[in-house]
Structure 1
Amino acid sequence: MAALLSLVLRGGVLLAALLVFIGGVEELLAYGDRPASALLRHPVGLEAWALAGLLPRALAGQPEAWVALGLWVLILTPMARVALSALLFAWERDWLYTGVTLWVLTLLILSLLGKI
């Protein structure tokens, strides 16, 4: 159980790092010749972080979308670990820990949605 949970965490962090790295390289290739002050004058709105539109934008060559995808993966990785923990506890028929883990997962989801 511990090995599988550690694999999820390691894999999520490595995937997030890869996505941010891809975005950073694309950013340097696209805007590397411009001063940083010119790039910082155009703030990115919250709609740029909408998860549904990130993959098409990243595949269209928008470096900030790759970075945002990497950060989303980094945010969702611990949540995936908690969800997997709940499944593994249920599989072992450990109902107390299943309940506690589902409660923690509920709190994580609500906090991500800004409800608590």
Structure 2
Amino acid sequence: MSVEVRIEPGRIARLLRARGGIAYRRISARTERVARIAEGEAPGSMGSYISWKVQEGPRGLEGVIVCDHPAVHYVLSGTRPHLIRPRRAKALRFEVGGEVVFTRLVRHPGTRPNNFLARALRLGR
């Protein structure tokens, strides 16, 4: 999943696109700002999986923010209610109110979508 910030340079495209040029520095600053906001908005340790870069795209320079956490799709889209069963053991083990519980089945209620990347893009303007 990536969030892109794009700019289309005008007549002096070669000067603006050059690494260290005006457009490159502005896009880098903005992309980095949005990435830092996304790190703060991301749930749990997901923020440590966020990286950013500036690259040449089909319409000029673009800033790309990437979160490559294995569960990012489930966080952004949410999940429906589902059953959780043990894969390698006979039972699941977890704590409820400080008490250890073993069970063969958990009815997970699902999660609401948390589109922290879009929220970071809105806040980073």
Structure 2-normalised TM-score? 0.28
Select the structure that is richer in strand.
2
Select the structure that is richer in helix.
1
Structure ID, larger Rg: 2
